[in-house]
Structure 1
């Protein structure tokens, strides 16, 4: 029962932290997420991106259309399926994504400095590998 409470507490607080940090974003979350997938995983189709994000094809296509219009991604014909397009992150898209990531990190760093004393910051630092292991365990299923 105590493990169940820990899991729920962790789920809730991490969700709140992610939402709080996203408040620093200057672009819609869907667009930032697509750029992130293209940056980390390379070129993808809209269908691939929709599946990765767990959203409808229409939602991913809407975000992709906005990114294309802003020059943050480019499209080219799929090499093996002429009915599909591959989306690639552009240099402008990579720069924009890096600015978003840096802004989030700056916001979070400022909060860590302001809210936690040095011992608490060290405790938090020790938690990062544990959270990384949990994430790897969940995503490797």
Structure 2
């Protein structure tokens, strides 16, 4: 199988699984952008809005409303930077961490049930594949 064929097959699988996971989310779940922002802050700690946007390959303007909604909902805080008073620093709140974990758990529950239908070897292969996908996502190409 050629590299282009592998890339196409992987892309198809990831897109199909992503679509299914979105459908498994209950009404009122976090939007994709809210999940992206909270996930970034959870993984990386406090960040400027610009740093979040850049790291997540988003336009800052596209996330401005998301930041405001998350702040209004008590899921993140915004404070002035001590080193640059013009900049703000976003931090996930304890409530934001709980909401993010709950959102993640709902999708993980469906995925866990689906994984149970696979063999142990297939499950281990998917765990390895997930680690490789994270490496691909973090690649600087």
TM-score by length of structure 2 reads 0.86
Q: Quickly say closer, same or farther: Cα 1:39–1:134, change in 2 above 3 A.
A: closer
> Structure 1: how far apart are the matches of 2:131 and 2:45?
22
> Which residue does the alignment assign to 2:71?
68
Query: Which moves more between the two structures, 31-40 or 4-13?
Result: 4-13
Give 5+ residue unaligned stretches, structure 2: none
* Residue 62 (structure 2) aligns with: 59
The alignment covers a number of residue pairs equal to 137
CA–CA distance in structure 2, aligned partners of residues 138 and 50 of structure 1 = 15
* Deviating more after overlay: 46-55 vs 90-99: 46-55
Structure 2 match to 1:135:
134
Matched with 1:4 is: 4
Q: Which has the higher helix share?
A: 1
Runs of 4+ in 1 over 4 A off after TM superposition: none
What's the secondary structure of 2:106's corresponding residue?
helix
Q: How big is the shift at 1:63? A: 0.5
Deviation at 1:60, TM superposition (A): 1.3
Residues 1:51 and 1:129: Cα distance change in structure 2 (over 3 Å): same
CA contact (8 A) 2:78 2:88 kept: yes
From 28, 33, 41, the equivalent of 1:30 is 33
Structure 1 Cα separation of the partners of residues 63 and 33 of structure 2 = 8
Aligned CA RMSD, in angstroms, stands at 1.8
1:93 to 85, 91, 96: 96
Shift of 1:122: 2.6
Alpha-carbon distance in structure 2 between the residues aligned to 1:98 and 1:18 = 18
**TM-score normalised by the chain length of structure 1:** 0.86
